[in-house]
Structure 1
Amino acid sequence: MLNINVKTTVAAAVITLAGVSGAALADTTPHEQMQPVATSVAQILQETKDDQRVSLRGQITKQISKEKFIFTDGSGEIQLDIDDDLTAKTPINPPVEVEIIGEVDKGIVSDTEIEVKSYTLVN
Structure 2
Amino acid sequence: MKTWLMICATFAAPLVLVSPSALAGHDHGDGHDQTSILYTGPADIVKVSNLPSRGGLFADDEIIVEGKLIKQVDDETFLFDDGSGQILLEVDRDISNLTVSDTDNVRVFGRYDGFWGEPSIEAESIKVLKP
Deviations 1:73-104 (A, max 9, x none): 111111000023313x2133334210110011
Letter in 2 for 1:99: R
Counterpart CA distance in 2 for 1:100 and 1:115 is 9
1:64 paired with 2:73, answer: yes
Q: Which consecutive residues of structure 2, in runs of 5 or more, have no partner in the other structure?
A: 1-16, 26-43
- Name the larger-Rg structure: 1
Higher helix share: 1
1:118 paired with 2:125, answer: yes
Letter in 2 for 1:66: D
Matched length: 108
Sequence identity (%): 25
Counterpart CA distance in 1 for 2:104 and 2:73 is 14
CA contact (8 A) 2:59 2:115 kept: no
Counterpart CA distance in 2 for 1:71 and 1:54 is 14
Q: Which residue does the alignment assign to 2:45?
A: 39
Q: CA deviation at 1:42?
A: 1.5
When the two chains are superposed, the root-mean-square deviation of aligned CA atoms in Å is: 3.2
Give 3-state SS (helix, strand or coil) of 2:111's partner: strand
1:94 paired with 2:128, answer: no
Counterpart CA distance in 2 for 1:63 and 1:107 is 23
TM-score, normalised on structure 2? Answer: 0.58
Counterpart CA distance in 1 for 2:100 and 2:93 is 10
Give 3-state SS (helix, strand or coil) of 1:69's partner: strand
1:48 paired with 2:58, answer: yes
Q: Which consecutive residues of structure 1, in runs of 5 or more, have no partner in the other structure?
A: 1-23, 31-37
Deviations 1:25-71 (A, max 9, x none): 78x899xxxxxxx7331222364122x00001111111110000011
